[in-house]
Amino acid sequence: MKVIKEVMVIDDDSTLVFLAEKFIELTDMVQTVTSFNDGHAAFNTLIERDKAKQALPDIILLDITMQDWDAWRTLDELKTVGLFDKLCIYIVTSSASREDREHAKFYHLEDFYLEKPISPEVLKSIFESHLGK
Amino acid sequence: MTDPILQSIEGLDTLKALIENSPVAVYLANMEGQILLTNQAAVKMVGFSREELLGKNIIDLDVVYQNHAQILAFWEAVPLNQVQHIYGKHLCKDGRQIEVEVHSSKIAINSRNYLLGNVTDISERKEWERKITRSEHLLNEAQRLAKIGHWELDFQNNNLIWSDEIYKIVEIDPSNFSVSYEAFLGIVHEDDRESLDIVFKEAIRDKKPYIFRHKINIKDGRIIHVEERAEIYFSDDGIPLSALGTIQDVTEEVETKAKLDQTFEMLNKLVAQVPGVVYQYRLYPDGRSCFPFSSQGMYDIYEHHPEELTEDASLVFKRLHSEDVERVSKEIYESAEKQTIFHSIFRVILPTKGLRWCRCDARPEMLADGSTLWFGIITDITEGIEEHERLVLSEESYRIVANNTYNWEFWEDENKKLLYVSPSCFNITGYTAEEFLNNPALMNDIILLEDQAQFAHHRHHVTSIPEKDKTEFRIRDKQGNVKHIKHLCQPAYDSNGVFRGIRGTNLDITEAVENLKRIEKLLTIEEEQNKRLRNFTHIVSHNLRSHSANMEGLLKLLKIESPEIFNHPYLTMMLKSSENLNETITHLNQVLDISLVNKEEWKKINLLEVINNAVSSVSTLASEVGLKIDVEVDKKIELKAIPAYLDSITLNMLTNAIKFCSEERDSYLHIRAKVEKGFIEISFEDNGIGIDLTKHKEKIFGMYKIIHPRKDSKGLGLFMTLKQVEAMGGKIEVESQENIGTTFNIKLPYESH
C-alpha cells in the first residue's frame, strides 16, 4: 500500500543511499525514492520541478555532512527561493554532536532529526506520522 | 535855709535830735519843697554834705518825680498826717542813682504845714528781688529742659504742691486734678506703687533722703519712667515737717539704655559666635597694656577670663611660647608705630590644652593720650598648622618614596604647575627630571603623535572632574626608542578635602606589552590547535560513525533479506559488535563535545526552573517506583551555566535516584541548593540502595563503570555528569552508605549580586 508518492534521499554516502532506498522499500509505503549525492544537485531539481509546476517530494531525508553543499547550505538556499516552506525535510546525521542538533533548531527542524543508523522501524514511524498529520 | 517859724517853735532841738538820730534819711521841707532839716543818714545815703542838702528842693533829689507844680499841687491837696508811700530814684553826688522807698506826710507845726519824708535806700533789696526773679525763671527753664519738676509736701496740713513741670511730665491738667500724696500714688504704675510707698515711709522713719525710679501711668495707656529724689525735713524735736523732692522724666534714658542693653547683648552673642576671641587691646605710652574688652573666647585662647585682663595684659604674655615673646612684642610695637594692621602667628603654652598655635589679626587706632587701641580677633589654628605639618611631612615622604621608585613619578599642583618629577624618569625617557621641570610641555612632546589626542582627552578628563583615571600611550625616548607607558593618575586632597593637584605615575610597560604580544601569538597557535582538534572530533563524530552506522545498517538489511544466514553465530556476533561500536562512538562523541565548550553557550539560568523541568519530565517514572521528590530551592537563585549541561546533570541525578531507589522502604529524593561564598551547592540526597564507597570510590565517576549492573546502565551517566560539572568549573562530591542512601553535592561557581 504505497501511499507516499515520493521520498527524496540526499546523501553523498552511497552506502547510506543504498540502505535508505532498501529500508524505504521495506516499509512498503512509498512509491518512488529519488536520491542525490549532493545538496546542490537536489536543489536544482527541486527548483526546476517547482518552476514546471511538477510535484515535489513528500519527504526529503537530508544528510548534514556533504562535500559540496552541506545540509545547512542547502536549507539556506531553499529558504532563499521560498521552497523551504513547501517541503517536509528530515535532517539525517551520523553526528551525535550537540552543535548540530542546536543548529537544526535554527530551521525549526529539531523534531525532524534522525540519528544514523536509520532503520526500517524509524522510517516507518516517520511515514506514519507524516500521513497522520 | 532857715524857716523863721520853725526857728521859733518850741522844742526845736528835740525835733532836730529826733531827726538826727533816725537810722533812715529824714527830710523836713516847707510846702515849696525846700529842705529845712535833714540828718546824717541822708548825708551818708546821697553823698551830699548837710550844707549842700539844706536849701535843695526835695523834688530835685529824685529823678523819677520831676514835675514841681504837679507834686506841690498834690501835697497842697492831701490831708494832714496821711502817709504817702512811693518808690523813687535818688541821684547821688557821685552820679549814682539809688532806688529808694519814701514814706512822707504833710504835717502841721504851729499851724504851718511842712513836708516830712523818711527815705530808705532799697537798691540792694531790689537787686536781690531781681536776682530771685531771675533764678526762679532759670529754675523753671531748667526744670522744663531737664524734665524735672519739684514738689513739696507739708505734713502739718497734708498739703502737696507740684511745680508746673510735674503736671507737664505726667501730662495732667492742673485745673482738673486735686493733687495729694494719695492721688499721686494713684498714677504710679501698679508694679511700683507699693515699693514707692515703702521707700517714702522708710525715708521718714530713717530720716534719710532717697532716690527711687519708678513708672507712671499717663494718658492713653502710655508709661513713663521717672526718677524721684526727695528729702524730709524735721523739726528740732524730730517731727517731720515737710518733704521736698524732684521728679525727673527719665523715659528716654531708660528706653535708650534698654536699647543699648539689647544691642550689647546682641553684640555679645555675635562675638560669642566668632571662633576664638574678639578683643580690644590697649598699649599705653608707658608700656603698660591691657584688654579693656574681650569676649568669653579669651578663655579658649589663653585660659584666662576676660575680667582678669581688663587692667593688665601681662598674664597673656606669660602664656606665650618663650621663643615667640620677643617677636610678638616687636610686631605689636611696629603695628603701633606705623599704625599698620597687626598680623601674627604665635604659639601659646596653656595649662590645660598645652601647645596651641594662634593667629591674630588686629587694627590699631591712635588715642589722644598716645595709647594705641587695637580691635582684633585671635583664633586657634593648631589644627590647620598640624594639617600643614602633616602635609609637609607627607610631601617629604612622598618625595623620598618617589625619588627611590623605579617608576617615573610626577606631581603637579592645583594650577597644573609641575612640582615634582622623580629621577627615575631618566631611566625611562632618557630625559632628566630637570629637563621635565624646565619644560612643562616635554612630557606631552615625547608622546607619539598618534597617541597625543588620547592623552589630551585623558588630561582634560582628570583635571576637569577631577578623578582617578588611567591611560596608555607610547613615547619616543631621547635615544629614539619607542616605549609603552601606562599612565595612572589621581587627584590629591589634603585631609580637609582641599584639592591639591594631581599625582601621577608613568610605568614603563614596554616589556609587558611585548610579552602580551607573545602571549597573543601563543593563544592564536592554541586556537589553531583547538580548531584542528575540533576537526578531528568532527571526523570521529561523522565519518567514523557513518561507517559504523552503515555497517550496522547493512547487517540489519541482510538480516531482513536473508534471515537464514543469521543462523550462523558469527553474524549475530558481528551485528552485536557493530551495535556496540556504534554506541561507543556516540559516547566518545559526547565526551569530546563536553571538552570543547564554546564560551557563548554560557547563559544565566534560573536553577529552580531547571530542576522543576527535570522533575516533571521524570515524574511518571518516579511515581512508578514510588519515589517522592521534594525541592527546596530559592526561586531567586540564578547562575551562569551551560543550560544543556545543567539540564543533563539534573536529569542524570534524578534518573540515578529513580534507578537505585530501595524496594524496602518509602523512597525519597531531597533536592536543596544553598549559596555560599563564590559558589552554589546543589545537593541530591536519596535513601536508595547506596554505594559502598570503600570499594567503589575510585570508579564511581569513571567511564563505563557499572556498580549496580542493570539492564539500562551503561556506566556513562556519572562520568558525563562529572565532565559536565568540571566543564562549568565545578566539583562533584558523593557521600553514601550501602542500603541507607546517597548524597551528591554539586558545587558550581556562583556570582552573588
Greater confidence, A131 or B398?
A: A131
Helix, strand or coil, per DSSP, at residue B562:
coil
| Partner-chain contact A65 B552, CB within 8 Å | no
Contact residues on chain B for A101, CB-CB shorter than 8 A: none
pLDDT value for B632: 92
Q: How far is A77 from chain B (nearest CA, A)?
A: 23
CATH of domain B599-749: 3.30.565.10
What pLDDT does B753 receive?
55
Residue B533 sits at the chain A interface (C-beta within 8 Å): no
Q: Which of B394, B399, B397 is nearest to B409 (CA)?
A: B399
C-alpha cell belonging to residue B494: 589634603
Q: Which residues contact B616 (CB under 8 A, 6 or more apart)?
A: none
Domains, in order of start, for chain A:
4-132 (3.40.50.2300)
- Confirm or reject contact between B401 and chain A (CB < 8 A): no
Q: Mind listing the pLDDT tens digit for each residue in A97-122? A: 677 888 888 888 888 888 887 888 88
Interval A60-87 mean pLDDT:
90
Question: Are residues B560 and A120, on separate chains, in Cβ contact within 8 Å?
Answer: yes
* CB–CB contact A15 B554 (8 Å): yes
Please check the confidence at residue B359 and state whether its pLDDT lies above 70: yes
The beta-carbon neighbor of A94 closest among B542, B556, B593 is B542
| B-chain residues near A64 (CB < 8 A) | 542
- The torsion angle over the Cα atoms of residues B332, B337, B342 and B347, rounded to 10 degrees, is -20
Q: How many CB pairs under 8 A join A and B?
A: 65
Q: Is the pLDDT of residue B342 over 70?
A: yes
Cα distances (Å, whole numbers) of residue B139 to B151, B171, B172, B391: 13, 20, 21, 77
Nearest to B541 among A13, A95, A119 (CB): A95
CB contact under 8 A, A117 and B541: no
The length of chain B in residues reads 753
Query: Is B593–A96 a contact, with Cβ atoms under 8 angstroms apart?
Result: yes
**Angle in degrees, 0-180, between the axes of helices B643-659 and B717-727, rounded to the nearest 10:** 150
Residue of A95, A114, A121, A122 best to disrupt the B interface, most CBs of B under 10 A: A95
Q: Which of B684, B695, B687, B665 is nearest to B734 (CA)?
A: B684
Rounded to the nearest angstrom, the gap between the alpha carbon of residue B104 and the centroid of all alpha carbons in its chain is 96
Is it true that B128-255 and B599-749 share their CATH fold? no
Q: Pick from A15, A65, A117: which is nearest to B582 by CB?
A: A117
Q: How confident is the model at residue B711 (pLDDT cuts 50, 70, 90)?
A: very low
Q: Which residue has the cell 524721684?
A: B228
Locate the chain A residue with the closest alpha carbon to B588: A96
Task: Compute the nearest-CA separation of B618 from chain A (Å).
Answer: 20
Look at residue B591 and tell me whether its pLDDT is greater than 60.
Answer: yes
**Cβ neighbours, 10 Å, residue B183:** 12
Q: Which of A104-113, B55-64, B168-177, B528-537 has the lowest mean pLDDT?
A: B528-537
Residue B700 in contact with residue B717, Cβ under 8 Å? no
> Which pLDDT value is given to residue A35?
93
Decide if B549 and A94 are in contact by the 8 Å CB cutoff.
Answer: yes
State the nearest Cα–Cα gap between A99 and chain B, in angstroms: 8
Model confidence band, residue B6 (pLDDT cutoffs 50, 70, 90): low
Mean pLDDT, range B53-71, rounded to an integer: 86
Secondary structure in 3-state letters for B310-348 = CCCCHHHHHHECHHHHHHHHHHHHHHHHHCCCEEEEEEE
Q: Which residues are bridge partners to B226 per DSSP? A: B214, B249
CB atoms within 10 A of CB B587: 17
What does the alpha-carbon distance between residue B48 and residue B186 come to, in Å, rounded to a whole number? 66
Run of H or E including B508 = strand B499-508
- The chain-wide mean pLDDT, for chain A, equals 88
B562 touches chain A (CB under 8 A): no
Verify whether the Cβ–Cβ distance B593 to A117 is below 8 Å.
no
Q: B542–A93: do the CB atoms touch at under 8 Å? A: yes
B128-255: CATH number = 3.30.450.20
Cβ within 8 Å, pair A94-B590: no
CA distance B672 to chain A (A): 29
pLDDT of residue B489: 86
pLDDT score, position B441: 86
- Å from A6 to nearest chain B CA? 21
Classified by CATH at the fold level, domain B4-121 comes out as Beta-Lactamase (3.30.450)
Q: What average pLDDT does range B78-101 have in this prediction?
A: 89
H-type helices in B600-716, by residue range? 607-625, 643-659, 693-696
- Mean pLDDT (chain B) is 85
**pLDDT tens per residue, range B199-210:** 998 998 988 889
Nearest to A96 among B552, B590, B644 (CB): B590
Closest CA to B407 of B486, B304, B334: B486
Where are the domains positioned within chain B? Answer: 4-121, 128-255, 274-380, 386-504, 515-594, 599-749
Please choose, from the candidates A50, A51, A78, A49, the residue with its C-alpha nearest in 3D space to the C-alpha of residue A62: A78
| Residues on chain A touching B593 (C-beta within 8 angstroms) | 96-99
DSSP string, B40-89: HHHHHHH---HHHHTTSBHHHHBSS---HHHHHHHHHHSPTTPPEEEEEE
Segment B534-578, tens digit of pLDDT = 677 667 666 777 788 888 888 888 888 888 888 888 888 888 888
State the DSSP string of B509-539: -HHHHHHHHHHHHHHHHHHHHHHHHHHHHHI
Q: Please indicate whether residue A100 or residue B309 has the higher confidence score (pLDDT).
A: B309
Q: What is the pLDDT of residue B712?
A: 52
Q: pLDDT tier at B747 (50, 70, 90 boundaries)?
A: very high
Would an 8 Å CB–CB cutoff place B554 in contact with chain A? yes
Q: How far is B598 from chain A (nearest CA, A)?
A: 10
pLDDT of B624 strictly over 90:
no
| Residue among A22, A98, A116 minimizing CB distance to B549 | A116
Do the chains contact at B546 and A96, CB–CB below 8 Å?
no
Pick the CATH number of B274-380 from 3.30.450.20, 3.40.50.2300, 3.40.50.1370, 1.10.600.10: 3.30.450.20
Q: Does B553 touch chain A (CB under 8 A)?
A: yes
Rank B138-142, B503-507, B749-753 by mean pLDDT and report only the highest.
B503-507
Residue B403 pLDDT > 80: no
B563 at the A interface (CB within 8 A)?
no
Residues of A whose CB is below 8 A from B535 = none
- What digits encode the pLDDT tens for the residues B90-149? 888 888 888 899 999 998 888 888 899 999 888 888 888 888 888 888 777 777 777 788
Cross-chain residue pair B541–A97, CB shorter than 8 Å: yes
For A21, name the nearest residue in chain B, comparing CA atoms only: B557
What's the pLDDT score for residue B581?
Answer: 81
Contact B557 A19 (CB under 8 A): yes
CATH topology assigned to domain B386-504: Beta-Lactamase (3.30.450)
pLDDT category of residue B599 using cuts at 50, 70 and 90: low
Chain B hits for A15, Cβ within 8 Å: 550, 553-554
- Report the chain B residue with the minimal C-alpha distance to residue A23: B557
Using the Cβ of B228 and the Cβ atoms of chain A, whether some distance falls under 8 Å is answered with no
